[in-house]
Amino acid sequence: MKEIREVRVGIIGAGQISHRHMNIYSNIQMRARQLGFTAKVVAVAEIDLRRLKAWGERYGLDEKDMYTDFRELLKRDDIDTIDVCVHNNLHVPISIAAMKAGFDVYCEKPSAASYHDARLMIDCAKKLGRKYHVQMSSLMNLQTRTARDMIAEGKLGTPYFANLEMVTTRRRPGYDLPSFTTDFYSKRAAGHGPTIDLGVYVIGQMLYVLGLPKLKSVSGLAKQGMELDERLITNPDGFGVEDIGNGFARFENGMGFHFLTTSACNYKDYSMTYILGSKGGLEIINTDTTGGSFARPANSPSPPPFVSSGREPELRFYGDTDGQRVEIDPKCSYNMQIEQRVNPDILLYNDNQVMWLAYKLGILNDETRYNTPEIAAQQLLITDGIFLSEELGREVTVDEIKELSPALYMTEQEIGSELVKFDVSF
């Protein structure tokens, strides 16, 4: 019988996203024999005592394995990796603290709220020899792989323009959606709003399928445009993030890229993602922002609801065949199921946490895994450009973005009765 290797995980942050991570770990355990490995969550840290106790009770952790101070969790010597599930601007100090304590790190998206901060974690991992991976579910499906391969094989000819529009009318987490923490609209905790929160998925996917083209310049608009009801703002930091982000990026290869996202507007919900090439075009339909089949409960219906709407990620190719205009449906969701039966190893590429564990165990390496930290950093280079362009009122170059990218990570946090100042030096 094939040996099943186990990775012992410590989770920092017991908020909403941690439950999705736990569901995935549960599904990994159910498929351990097929994968050859599994994961066991052995400890959790959460600053909110009531939330911590509820989380421990839900997942059957002993009191000794639950911590209100993540620094105490990092003192353990029976943990193999740390899963960081805190909010955006805590990713840097907590991930770096974990790496300095000797742990490899898997981090929830976005990697950070700015390019400057994302590079800190990449540089820390490199200097300390740690493995580091970022949650980017939009990469983990056949939609992304097919689009990447079609472009690499020249089926689109020369790509010259890409468009990304993800518009929602009233979907501000913590404000319109009270099930989310109000930290989502706190500038101190979140850094920014939908421009990065959704941008990490859709811009990250676009950059990956295009082969990570080098950025040249960005022109953008980002602001809080919608009126707010002060009665609904309960976070003491106030409402500090944008509800619209819009930008146009130019790449060194001459390609243009337009990105628009809103979390609130007076229009309608819609999405429109496409790539134009000299020989053909691609429409990307229902980008996966949920996490694919591993992220759904084990008893959920088939086919899996890859996105929150239940719609599956698909593609359409538009072009010419023998002088005739054609529209081709690659049937990604259907063929993904066939792909898994033909090539079981593809499971390593169909979920973030599966890929992370395979990378952690050496089954995948730096060449065979998706370099999610770098893809996430390149996404932040574009979104930083949008905010800087808004601030300066003009187009900005990539060199300006890199030079002026701000440090947004939280430098201190109250843990119990102590004001803890974070040290991100390494």
| Top CATH class, 143-342 | alpha beta
At 247 the three-state DSSP class reads strand
Domain ranges of the chain: 5-137+408-421, 143-342
pLDDT band at 310 (very low <50, low <70, confident <90, very high): low
pLDDT band at 321 (very low <50, low <70, confident <90, very high): confident
Nearby residues of 230 by Cβ (< 8 Å), 6 or more positions away: none
Judged by average pLDDT, the poorest of 1-5, 56-60, 302-306, 311-315 is 302-306
pLDDT band at 1 (very low <50, low <70, confident <90, very high): low
CA 209 to chain centre: 16
What is the mean predicted confidence (pLDDT) over 252-261? 98
Count helices and strands in the chain by DSSP H and E runs: 14, 17
pTM of the shown model? 0.95
Residue 352 has pLDDT above 60, yes or no: yes
* E-assigned strand segments in 148-243: 159-167, 215-223
CA 349 to chain centre: 15
* E-assigned strand segments in 95-138: 104-107, 132-134
pLDDT band at 308 (very low <50, low <70, confident <90, very high): very low
Residue 166 has pLDDT above 70, yes or no: yes
| CATH classification code of 5-137+408-421 | 3.40.50.720
Cα–Cα dist 70/215, whole Å: 37
Q: Report DSSP letters for 145-158, one per residue.
A: HHHHHHHHTTTT-S
Q: Which helix (H) or strand (E) holds 341?
A: helix 332-342
Per-residue model confidence (pLDDT) at position 16: 93
Q: What percent of the chain has pLDDT over 70?
A: 96
At 340 the three-state DSSP class reads helix
Per-residue model confidence (pLDDT) at position 303: 40
Whether 10 contacts 43, CB under 8 Å: yes
Burial class (CB in 10 A: 0-12, 13-18, 19+), 68: middle
Residue 378 has pLDDT above 60, yes or no: yes
Would you tell me how many other CB atoms lie within 10 Å of the CB of residue 37? 19
Beta-strand pair 104-107/280-285: unpaired
According to DSSP, the residues that pair with 264 across neighbouring strands are 170
What is the mean predicted confidence (pLDDT) over 414-424? 96
Cα–Cα dist 290/287, whole Å: 9
Per-residue model confidence (pLDDT) at position 381: 98
What is the mean predicted confidence (pLDDT) over 137-153? 97
Residue 306 has pLDDT above 90, yes or no: no
